[in-house]
Structures are given as C-alpha cells and as structure tokens.
Amino acid sequence: MAFEAFRYDGKRVLVVGGATGMGAATAALVQEAGAEVVVMDHAEVTLPGVKSIALDLRDRDGIDAAVAECGGPVHALFSCAGVADGTPGIEKINFIGHRHLIDRLLDGGMLPRGSAIGMISSAAGLGWEANLPQVLEFLDTPDFDSAVAWIEANQKADYMWSKQAICGYVARQAFPLLQQGIRINAILPGPTDTPLAQANADMWLGFGTDYRGETGIEPSTPMEQAAPLVFLCSAAASYITGITMITDAGYISSGITESFPAAKPVADFLYGRY
C-alpha cells in the first residue's frame, strides 16, 4: 500500500477542541499531512493557516451555528475537546455536545462516504462494557436536551461516565455509520502532558509513575496521542471501525496479565472487575 494512504491531501478536516493539548497536536499533524483544517474551540486558536470557529459545546444553538459556519464537506472529524471533573457542563463538553455536532453534520450531509470520525476517550472509560445496559440507556436519549435530562436524573455529570459514553457510542455507531460509508474510532490515552493534565497533575500525571519509572518512559506528549488518532481517520485505516484503542504504553495490558502486578488493581477497577 502506498504511503499516500496515511496522508490527508485534498481532505477537509474539522478538529473540535483543537486549540490546545491533543487537539492542537492533531490539527498541526493533519495540516502537515496536507489537509485543509478547520478548528472549533472555546479557547483562542493560534495555529497559523487554519479556519477558526468559536464553539462552546455546552450551547446547543451555538453548536448548530458553528456547524453552519463550517459547512461541508468534512472528510475527517476529530472530537478532541474535554474537561476535568468540577467543570460546569462537563457532560455536555465531553460527550453530549460532540454527539449533537456529529448529528448536525450527518443531518446536513456534510460527512460524505469515505469520511471518518475520531474521538478521544480515556482509560477512565474502560468500564463501559461492565455498565453496558446503563450506557445503552443513556445513548438511547434521542437529542441534546434529553441527554442532559438523563444525566441530571442519574447523577452522571462526571469525567468517568462521559468517557464510558464515548466508548459505548463508538462501538454502537460502527454499524449504522458504516452503512453510510463513515468510520468511527477512539483512542483511550494514558497520562499525557497537556494543559488539562497539568491543571490536575497530582491525579492525572501522578497515575502510573511506578510503571513509567520501571520502563524508563515519561508521560506521553500530545503528539504521541495525535499520531494514532490521525492514523485511525486516514485511508490507511480504511478497514478499522468501532474500536477504542488504548494508547497508554502498555500499562493496562501489563496489569491484566500481571506482568506488572502493581497495575492489576487499577485495571480491575477500570474494567469493573472489582
């Protein structure tokens, strides 16, 4: 297969949450790979050469306006925006707003056959299968407002639930989207040195320090997470859809198999095996 399959020449790409962190790295990488790039974010976008659109994922009407301003086609959508626990509207920023934006793009015919969607979940979302009935109940909410109401009724406005929702969404949407010629995947990063992680350094960057110490690695960089995400939306991954790829340098796998025994309790907890 020609290396061109990994490139984005002639493609128009939308990066939601592309101002900082993994989203900014993704925007820079696809631009380098030849794409025309549109970035939506609540924060200031500083990457030269991209179209910038203001977006607050907590605002349903604002999402509709941003999608209209963006227009189509969108050959690759990267849903990268995310916030930590304690942020007002976390459930909208981390999942509900992303889903609504995808729905609007689909309704407008802006995601053509051959397009792809890449989302950022987290190792915190690994328990989605153990909670599958409730995850599916939430995903059955038909729109933005009903999803917000479900979260309020079930007291699920938290980081872990939002990431489980992404994992479940990716898995469930693989079939209906592929019927339209669209692929969807997600990455589940381990500790990554982003502004969001720095703001929650004790919990986010402190996680897995023993593993990294014994393997001689550092927390991943945003670009190290952007690269697999960009691959998943490239033509090189044309037969990959519906997967949630763990990008944590092997920490969870080492816990499951007990090759690094200290990670087993964490893996068991995240998978809901406790």
Overall average pLDDT of the 144-166 stretch: 97
**Residue 108 φ/ψ, nearest 5 degrees:** -90, 5
Mean per-residue pLDDT of the chain: 93
Q: What whole-number distance in Å separates Cα of residue 132 and Cα of residue 169?
A: 11
Q: Is the peptide bond before 176 cis (omega within 30 degrees of 0)?
A: no
Q: What whole-number distance in Å separates Cα of residue 162 and Cα of residue 34?
A: 32
- pLDDT above 90 coverage of the chain, percent: 84
- pLDDT above 70 coverage of the chain, percent: 93
Q: Which residue, chain included where needed, has tokens 């920023």?
A: 93
Overall average pLDDT of the 96-103 stretch: 98
Whether the per-residue pLDDT at 161 is higher than 60: the answer is yes
Whether the per-residue pLDDT at 144 is higher than 60: the answer is yes
For residues 79 and 16, is the Cβ–Cβ distance under 8 A? yes
Q: What whole-number distance in Å separates Cα of residue 121 and Cα of residue 232?
A: 14
In the chain, the domains with their CATH numbers are 7-270 (3.40.50.720)
Whether the per-residue pLDDT at 1 is higher than 60: the answer is no
Whether the per-residue pLDDT at 102 is higher than 90: the answer is yes
More confident residue, 266 or 196: 266
Whether the per-residue pLDDT at 162 is higher than 90: the answer is yes
Looking at residue 219, what is its pLDDT? 84
For residues 95 and 214, is the Cβ–Cβ distance under 8 A? no
Looking at residue 208, what is its pLDDT? 67
* pLDDT tens profile 26-65: 999 999 999 999 999 999 999 999 999 999 999 999 999 9
- DSSP 8-state secondary structure symbol assigned to residue 72: S
* pLDDT tens profile 168-221: 999 999 999 999 999 999 999 987 766 666 665 555 556 668 898 989 988 889
Two tokens at 180? 């339209």
Looking at residue 201, what is its pLDDT? 56
Two tokens at 165? 């929702």
Overall average pLDDT of the 98-116 stretch: 98
DSSP string, 109-148: T-S-TT-EEEEE--GGGGGGTTTHHHHHHHHT--SHHHHH
